[in-house]
């Protein structure tokens, strides 16, 4: 899926749509991509002369990839974080980097989803963690 196709599922829009491409394989694992252009709002003050993608943005990129795993079920609903566990930041992400996310749903309870995700730049692991989210009406 490209950005326009992703917009058919996720309610996020620019500047908060943080997945450029995504595929879901036969095992149900999402493989997402976000290219850090360098002009993003979150880099403007983080940090002048030494821009680094904030950790919370990396978590949001992983969360959006997780949301895309549930396909059409997310249409018309608002996904909201319910928790972050065991999140670890390993390497910085900078302008020009391509962030590759791998995500999978580990469990579901009604409208609550529990997922695992990680993000790499090249062969370097940048962040990993467990995410949970709920789907709210509207």
Residue 54 has pLDDT above 90, yes or no: yes
Residue 80 has pLDDT above 90, yes or no: yes
**How much is the pTM?**
0.96
What pLDDT does residue 138 have? 72
List the catalytic residues: 46
Tokens standing for 64? Answer: 């959006």
Residues 6+ apart with CB under 8 A from 61: 18, 19, 32, 34, 99, 101, 119
Omega before residue 90 within 30° of 0, cis: no
What pLDDT does residue 131 have? 98
Q: How many CB atoms lie within 10 A of CB 51?
A: 20
pLDDT tens digits along 86-110: 999 999 999 999 999 999 999 999 9
Give all domains of the chain, ordered by start, each with its CATH number.
3-137 (3.10.129.10)
Residue 71 has pLDDT above 90, yes or no: no
């Amino acid at each position: 899926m490209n950005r326009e196709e992703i917009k058919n599922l996720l309610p996020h829009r620019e500047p908060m749509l943080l997945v450029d491409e995504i595929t879901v394989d036969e095992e149900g694992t999402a493989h997402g991509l976000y290219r850090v252009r360098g002009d993003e709002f979150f880099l403007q003050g983080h940090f002048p002369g030494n821009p680094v993608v904030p950790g919370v943005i990396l978590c949001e990129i992983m969360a959006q990839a997780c949301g895309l795993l549930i396909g059409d079920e997310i249409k018309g609903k608002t996904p909201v974080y319910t928790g972050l566990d065991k999140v670890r930041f390993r390497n910085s992400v900078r302008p020009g980097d391509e962030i590759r996310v791998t995500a999978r749903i580990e469990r579901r309870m009604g409208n609550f989803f529990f997922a695992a995700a990680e993000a790499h730049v090249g062969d370097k692991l940048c962040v990993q963690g467990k995410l949970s989210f709920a789907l709210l009406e509207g």
